[in-house]
Structure 1
Amino acid sequence: MLPTVFQKAAKVISIIEENQYEAYFVGGCVRDYIIGRPIHDVDIASSALPSEIQNIFPKVIPVGLEHGTVIVRYEQESFEVTTYRTEGVYTDHRRPDEVYFVRNIEEDLKRRDFTMNAIAMDAKGEMLDPFYGREDIVSERIQTVGDAAERFKEDALRIIRALRFSSQLGFSIEGHTKKAMKHYKGLIDKLAVERLTVELEKLCAGSFFKKAVDYIFELEIYHHLPIFNDEPLLLKELEPVASLAPVFAFVALKRSSITVTDCIKAYKCSNQLKQQASNLVDAYHHYKKDGINAWFVYQWPRDHWDHFTYLVKQIDKDIIDIKEIYSIYEGLPILSKKDLCVNGHDLMRWFPERPKGKWIKELLDQIEYHIVISGLANEKSKIKEWIQWNLPVQD
Structure 2
Amino acid sequence: MIIDLPKNVENIIERLKEHGFEGFAVGGCVRDSLLKKTPTDWDITTDALPEDMKKIFKKTFDTGIAHGTVTVLMDGVGYELTTYRIDGNYSDGRHPDSVSFSKNLSEDLCRRDFTINAMAYSHNKGIVDLFDGRKDLQNGIIRAVGDAKKRFDEDALRMLRAVRFAAQLGFKIDDDTFEAIRERAKLLSKVSKERIFVELNKSLCGDFAQNIKMVYTSGLYRYIGKEFSKLDENIYDFYPRKFHNKKHMYWAAFLENIENVEAVKKILFELKSDNATKNNTYLLVKELKNPLPSSDEDIRWSLHRIGADLFCDYIEILKTDKKNKDILDKIDTIENRYSLIMKENHAYEISMLDITGKDLMDIGISKGPKIGEVLEFLLKKVIENPLNNEKSSLLRLAKEFK
So what's the TM-score if we normalise by structure 2? 0.79
Contact 2:213–2:238, Cα closer than 8 Å, also in 1: no
Alignment match of 2:279 (pick from 250, 275, 282): 275
Aligned to 1:134: 134
1:56-87 deviation per Cα after TM superposition (whole angstroms, max 9, x unaligned): 33332323222222332211222222222220
**Aligned-residue offset at 1:305:** 3.4
Q: How does 1:77-92 map to 2 (within 5 A)?
A: 77-92=77-92
Sequence identity (%): 29
CA change 1:230–1:394 in 2 (3 A) is closer
Instruction: Tell me the amino acid that sits aligned with residue 81 of structure 1.
Output: L
1:27 is matched with 27
Return the alpha-carbon distance in structure 1 between the equivalents of residues 38 and 303 of structure 2: 33
Q: CA deviation at 1:138?
A: 0.7
**In 2, Cα distance between the equivalents of 1:65 and 1:335?**
58
In structure 2, how many angstroms separate the alpha carbons of the residues matched to 1:81 and 1:303?
Answer: 42
Q: Which residue of 2 aligns with 1:351?
A: 362
Whichever residue aligns with residue 392 of structure 2, its letter is E
Which runs of structure 2 are paired with 1:136-175 in the superposition (5 Å)? 136-175=136-175
User: What residue number does 1:100 align with?
Assistant: 100
Residues 190-229 of structure 1 correspond to what in structure 2 (within 5 A)? 190-213=190-213, 216-217=216-217, 219-226=218-225, 227=227, 229=229
Determine the C-alpha separation between the residues in 2 that align with 1:99 and 1:307. 49
Deviates more, 1:107-116 or 1:61-70: 61-70
Q: Any stretches of 5+ residues in structure 1 without a counterpart?
A: none
> Is 339-348 or 130-139 further displaced after alignment?
339-348
Q: Distance in 1 between matches of 2:386 and 2:357?
A: 23
CA distance in 1, matches of 2:58, 2:311: 43
CA drift at 1:354: 5.7
Report the Cα distance in structure 1 between the residues aligned to 2:83 and 2:334, rounded to whole angstroms. 51
Secondary structure of the corresponding residue to residue 300 of structure 1? helix
Secondary structure of 1:255's aligned partner: coil
Alpha-carbon distance, 1:116 to partner: 0.4
Alpha carbons of 1:24 and 1:266: their partners in 2 closer, same or farther (altered >3 Å)?
same
The whole-number CA distance in structure 1 between the counterparts of 2:291 and 2:65 is: 51
Q: Is the 8 A contact 2:302 2:311 kept in 1?
A: no
1:1-80 → structure 2 map (5 Å cutoff): 6-80=6-80
Q: Counterpart in 2 of 1:383?
A: 390
RMSD of equivalent CA atoms: 3.9
**How many residues of Structure 1 are paired with residues of Structure 2 in the alignment?**
388
Q: CA deviation at 1:238?
A: 2.5
For 2:384 and 2:123, how far apart are their aligned partners in 1?
A: 60
Give CA-to-partner distance per residue, 1:238-290, whole Å, 9 cap, x none.
Answer: 23356366546764753238612331244232322221122113322455466
Q: Following the alignment from structure 1 to structure 2, what is the Cα–Cα distance between the partners of residues 12 and 301?
A: 49
AA at the equivalent of 2:97:
D
Structure 2 distance, partners of 1:384, 1:248, is: 39
> What's the offset of the Cα at 1:89?
0.8
2:309 to 293, 297, 302: 302
1:17 CA displacement: 3.2
Partners of 2:15 and 2:259 lie apart in 1 by 58
Does 2:267 correspond to 1:263? Answer: yes
The aligned residue for residue 186 of structure 1 is 186
Q: 1:112: how far off?
A: 0.3
Structure 1 8/266 Cα, relative in aligned 2: closer, same or farther at 3 Å? same
Contiguous gaps of at least 5 residues in structure 2: none
